[in-house]
Amino acid sequence: MHRRPISVLVTTGLAAGLLTVPPGTAAAQAPSTGPAPGTTVTLITGDRVEITPGAAPKVTPAPDRRSMRFRITTDNGRLRVIPLDAVGPLTAGQLDPRLFDVTALIEAGYDDARRPQLPLIVQRAASAKSAPVRLAATSGRQELASVSAFSVLASKRDAAAFWKSVQDGGTLRADVGKIWLNGVRRPTLDQSVPQIGAPAAWADGLTGRGVTVAVAEQRARRRQERPDRGAGVGLDQRRAGCSGGGAEVR
């Protein structure tokens, strides 16, 4: 079925926030986590957001949601698109705000070109911790018993069916407590490295080159089921790699 695109009016500030740096500048050479030309993101509701730098975003409602209206906001260059029927559960804390943060979804690699499914974590309501929760258009279910939840992959092609299956009027159905984006975390060393004085050592010209790293184990070691895949990947190599990447391990 053909979807009718809806051009959403935005403020001048939003349009400016979507502009990219012209090719040939220094900033243009740096890796970018922003939207690529023609990037499309399907929301949990089945509605699609199309982004072209320098233009207003286009929102295409799912086929059975053609009268749906949307809130579009930008804050520090981050684009958020919220269908009005999601405002209630979002305000009530039943939906993870990242589900409607289009910029965050693109940064996580969850745009349509790179991911045909949306990874979610569904937490059961307190009154339904032992009850089965069946949802439409999902696969890959894995139980997370410690938090009374389960992870699923929601098909973007049928996301509207999934959204319909979790709704109950202006809120989520009674057996669903909250829906989270099963997001991506990228750990950094911005705090731990300064804590051990590494920047000062680097300033003194110390690089660690040629240093032999010893790995000591005090507990009983279990046989590793996964084969060692080379320096920097195996158990001991990973630890040594924290010090010097290709360090010698003894």
pLDDT at 117 over 70: yes
Q: Name the CA dihedral angle for 26, 31, 36, 39, rounded to a multiple of 10 degrees.
A: -160
Q: Please list the alpha-helical segments (H only) found in 44-197.
A: 84-91, 102-107, 159-166, 192-195
pLDDT at 40 over 50: yes
pLDDT at 121 over 70: yes
pLDDT in tens, 189-227: 777 778 888 888 888 888 878 788 776 655 555 544 444
pLDDT band with cut points at 50, 70 and 90 for residue 38: confident
Secondary structure (H, E, C), 64-75: HHCCCCEEEEEE
* Residue 170: C-alpha distances to residues 5, 32, 60, 122, 132 (Å): 25, 38, 21, 18, 22
Which structure tokens are listed for 156?
């973007």
The pTM score is: 0.64
pLDDT band with cut points at 50, 70 and 90 for residue 139: very high
| CA atoms lying within 13 Å on the CB side of residue 125 | 14
Which structure tokens are listed for 167?
């709704």
pLDDT in tens, 160-185: 999 999 999 889 999 999 999 998 76
Residue 201 near residue 118, CB atoms below 8 Å: no
Mean pLDDT, the chain, rounded, equals: 78
Residue 212 has a pLDDT of 80
Q: What percent of the chain has pLDDT over 90?
A: 50
Residue 236 near residue 249, CB atoms below 8 Å: yes
